[in-house]
Structure 1
Amino acid sequence: MQRDPRAFLWDVRESAVAIQSFTAGMDVAAYAGNAMAQAAVERKFEIIGEALNQLAKLDASVAARIPDLPQIVAFRNQLIHGYATVNVGTVWNITQNALPSLIDAVQVLLDELQ
């Protein structure tokens, strides 16, 4: 049975919101010094990338409306396959600067597909 595209979008939104909660009240130094927060954030980014990768296979027209989808999937691949070279500052920057717009884009799609 095929998964509903909304389920992938929901996974993205929930993972992104979790990242925001994991990093609330932190600055880059606090994040860099917190291995558990780093592990949690990276895991949620892996879920986001995989969910969007699966969404692209299932419904390319919906996936095409996610800004920077190829870069998000590539980031997931870097986290998983290049784990030894992950830059904490880069992850922090994405968390602070790219994640809010991803949440907004996904929410728009979820609202339309309800």
Structure 2
Amino acid sequence: MQRDVRTYLWDALQAAELVGEFTKGEDFASYQAQAMMRSAVERQFEIIGEALNQLSKVDRELAEKIPDLARIVSFRNILIHGYATVDDALVWQVLTDRLPALSDVLRKLLDS
């Protein structure tokens, strides 16, 4: 039985919100200093990328409403397959510069 496509949006949004919770009040230096936080944030980004990748397989039209979908999936692949060379500064930049807008898009799509 196929999952409801909205579940993929919900999974991605929940992961994005967890990233926000994990990093609330933190800065890049504290992020870099805490292996558990880095691991938790990277895992949630992996979930975001995988959920949206699965969404693109079952509902391309809906997935096309998500800006930079291919980059999000590629970022997930980098985190998983390039685990030994993850750039903390890049993860922090995505978290601070890109994640809020993605969360807004996901909320709007879930509300519609």
Which TM-score applies when normalising by structure 2? 0.99
| Aligned equivalent of 1:49 | 49
The unaligned stretches of length 5 or more in structure 1 are: none
Alpha-carbon distance in structure 2 between the residues aligned to 1:36 and 1:25:
16
| Aligned equivalent of 2:67 | 67
Alpha-carbon distance in structure 1 between the residues aligned to 2:106 and 2:77:
20
Alpha carbon RMSD of aligned pairs, Å? 0.4
| Aligned equivalent of 1:8 | 8
Partner letter of residue 64 of structure 1? E
| Aligned equivalent of 1:87 | 87
Q: How many matched pairs?
A: 112
| Aligned equivalent of 1:111 | 111
The unaligned stretches of length 5 or more in structure 2 are: none
SS at match of 1:107: helix
Alpha-carbon distance in structure 1 between the residues aligned to 2:80 and 2:40:
13
Give the 4+ runs in structure 1 shifted more than 3 A: none
Which TM-score applies when normalising by structure 1? 0.97
